[in-house]
Amino acid sequence: MSQIFKQKEVLINPKLFSPNSPPKKMIYNENGPAKILLDNNTIISGSCLHCPDTPCMKYKEEELINDTFMSFPQDNVSNVCPTEAITLDADSGAPTIDPNRCIACGICASRCPSGAIYFKTFGEKEQPQEVFAVINNDSSESFEICTQQDTSKTIEHIEENKILLESLPKEGLFIKEEDRIFDVIYSKMMSLKVDAQFPNLLTRNLLIQTGTSCAIRRKGDVNLRMDGVLGPPGTEAGVLEVELASMGILDSPRNMLDNIAVLNSRYNIKSKTLTPLIVSMSLANSRTEYYRVIRDIKNILNIKINTLTIGALFILIWNNKTFDFSNTSFYLDSENLSLRNMLEDIIGRKVLISEAFLSILETSK
Ligand code: SF4
Ligand code: SF4
């Protein structure tokens, strides 16, 4: 039995958000829960509402529907956390995070309506040993445990709370994208024991949270080779190749051409209306033929293949940003080997990681 099914048996009373003045803004913080600024200028800390539908743990069915590719053999796994680090605590019934499995991707935090999920860094400031998410579960006058769990009035109140909190303007960030932080997170990702579906699941959830609908191929489906498809919002139609192993990325442009041919013949989707996207851990080395092939494909077939890294998507999530492929291109080739400007345009400030660090934004030579 999966951990999530086990946890459904644990019941917990929800918390109600009842501040003494209307909230007007949510400010995300490093090393602490979000601050909620009230109209009377007092500030309270975001706390777990014990949402009955646990958006930090599960996607709703409608969030996983891809309108463009209804017959795509999709994996409907509803896990938000790609490493299954979030579970419901067996004693309290509240969501809790296993620091040993958390890769600080920020996906759960970006779905939490009350800003209760934040990130802790352990070790020396200059050389942290660990970065992981934690959930603030403190009760206060503004976040009070509700005792009448089953009344429809309470459920209605909880939904109203969530809608109110979600609608607040957001500022700040979850994690500052520094070299030392990526060092810890990339090493942890490489050493973690994960399911074979992990690369696709991580990519799907990062894309959904940054604004693009994504469906990934069912595990074990051998009739289709592509890793996933994209759709609205974010793009009309798209196709996804995920390659987290460093050498595998070199085959991705050619695999992408196969995918485009299949989509054309089976789904009648023309290449000119398609957003092709390759996602990798790090960018391919500039001396490899990856960028030359991408350029040839553009020059000969007029198909622009986008390239993104997991790290670039983390930076967008940590800054709480979304994008749309209709007005954002992540096209890299032998003449442009950096994602930096594209990312800075979205987050509206300089990105802090050093040039070519772990090849997250620039290629190494
Ligand atoms: S952590 Fe956030 S999303 Fe998860 S149950 Fe608590 S309030 Fe809801
Ligand atoms: S930050 Fe990412 S890895 Fe960590 S608990 Fe949240 S979803 Fe899971």
Cα(227)–Cα(229) distance, integer angstroms: 7
Same-domain check for residues 204 and 347: yes
Cα(104)–Cα(87) distance, integer angstroms: 15
**Final residue belonging to a domain, choices 141, 172, 203:** 172
Mean pLDDT over residues 77-84, rounded?
A: 97
**Distance from Cα 104 to the centre of ligand 1, integer Å:** 16
Nearest to 197 by CA among 242, 247, 238, 162: 242
**Distance from Cα 102 to the centre of ligand 2, integer Å:** 5
Same-domain check for residues 230 and 134: no
- Considering only residues 187 and 70, tell me which one the structure prediction assigns the higher pLDDT: 187
Same-domain check for residues 107 and 243: no
Mean pLDDT over residues 31-38, rounded?
A: 96
Cα(159)–Cα(152) distance, integer angstroms: 11
In a domain, 3, yes or no: no
Mean pLDDT over residues 155-167, rounded?
A: 91
**Final residue belonging to a domain, choices 138, 157, 172:** 172
Residue 189 Cβ < 6 Å to ligand 2: no
Residue 256 Cβ < 6 Å to ligand 2: no
Residue 81 has pLDDT above 50, yes or no: yes
Same-domain check for residues 286 and 234: yes
Ligand 2, from 4, 77, 97, 120: best to mutate by most atoms within 8 Å of Cβ?
97
Residues with Cβ within 8 Å of 264's Cβ and at least 6 positions away in sequence, in order, are 270, 271
What is the CA angle 181-183-184, rounded to 5?
70
Same-domain check for residues 157 and 205: no
Mean pLDDT over residues 98-118, rounded?
A: 98
**Distance from Cα 270 to the centre of ligand 2, integer Å:** 36
Strand-pair category, 228-231 with 238-243 = antiparallel
In a domain, 278, yes or no: yes
Residue 337 Cβ < 6 Å to ligand 2: no
Same-domain check for residues 132 and 266: no
Residue 338 backbone phi and psi in degrees, to 5: -140, 140
In a domain, 25, yes or no: yes
Give the number of the ligand closest to the Cα of residue 50.
1
- The proportion of the chain whose per-residue pLDDT surpasses 90, expressed as a percent, equals 77
The confidence band for 70, taking pLDDT boundaries of 50, 70 and 90, is confident
The string over 12-37, giving b where at least 16 C-beta atoms fall within 10 Å of a residue's C-beta and e elsewhere, is bebbbbebeeebebbbbbeeebbbbb
Same-domain check for residues 160 and 273: no
- AA letter at 77: V
Say what the pLDDT of residue 25 is: 97
Same-domain check for residues 55 and 153: yes
pLDDT tens by residue, 137-146:
999 999 998 8
The confidence band for 6, taking pLDDT boundaries of 50, 70 and 90, is very low
Ligand 2, from 48, 83, 111: best to mutate by most atoms within 8 Å of Cβ?
83
Residue 3 has pLDDT above 60, yes or no: no
- The proportion of the chain whose per-residue pLDDT surpasses 70, expressed as a percent, equals 96
Say what the pLDDT of residue 364 is: 81
In a domain, 208, yes or no: yes
Residue 206 Cβ < 6 Å to ligand 2: no
**Final residue belonging to a domain, choices 140, 172, 204:** 172
Residue 175 Cβ < 6 Å to ligand 2: no
Q: Whose CA is nearest to atom 2 of ligand 2?
A: 105
Cα(231)–Cα(118) distance, integer angstroms: 30
Same-domain check for residues 42 and 95: yes
Nearest to 3 by CA among 215, 242, 227, 195: 195
Say what the pLDDT of residue 23 is: 97
The number of folded domains in the chain is 2
Average pLDDT, the chain: 92
Looking at ligand 1, which atom is closest to the CA of residue 114? 7
204: left (phi over 0), alpha (psi -120 to 50) or beta: alpha
Range of the domain at 43: 15-172
Q: Whose CA is nearest to atom 2 of ligand 1?
A: 112
In a domain, 189, yes or no: no
Residue 185 has pLDDT above 50, yes or no: yes
- Considering only residues 254 and 146, tell me which one the structure prediction assigns the higher pLDDT: 254
The pair of three-digit structure tokens given for residue 207, joined into one six-digit string: 């894309």
Mean pLDDT over residues 209-217, rounded?
A: 97
In a domain, 177, yes or no: no
Q: Whose CA is nearest to atom 4 of ligand 1?
A: 56
Say what the pLDDT of residue 66 is: 85
pLDDT tens by residue, 276-328:
999 999 999 998 999 999 999 999 999 999 999 999 999 999 999 999 999 99
- AA letter at 195: D
Contact between 357 and 182 (Cβ < 8 Å): yes
Same-domain check for residues 137 and 39: yes
In a domain, 207, yes or no: yes
Say what the pLDDT of residue 67 is: 82
What is this structure's pTM? 0.94
Residue 1 has pLDDT above 60, yes or no: no
**Distance from Cα 168 to the centre of ligand 1, integer Å:** 16
CATH number, position 236: 3.40.91
Highest mean pLDDT among 66-70, 220-224, 286-290: 286-290
Same-domain check for residues 146 and 212: no
Residue 2 has pLDDT above 90, yes or no: no
In a domain, 7, yes or no: no
Same-domain check for residues 161 and 243: no
Contact between 323 and 308 (Cβ < 8 Å): no
The confidence band for 149, taking pLDDT boundaries of 50, 70 and 90, is low
Residue 11 has pLDDT above 70, yes or no: no
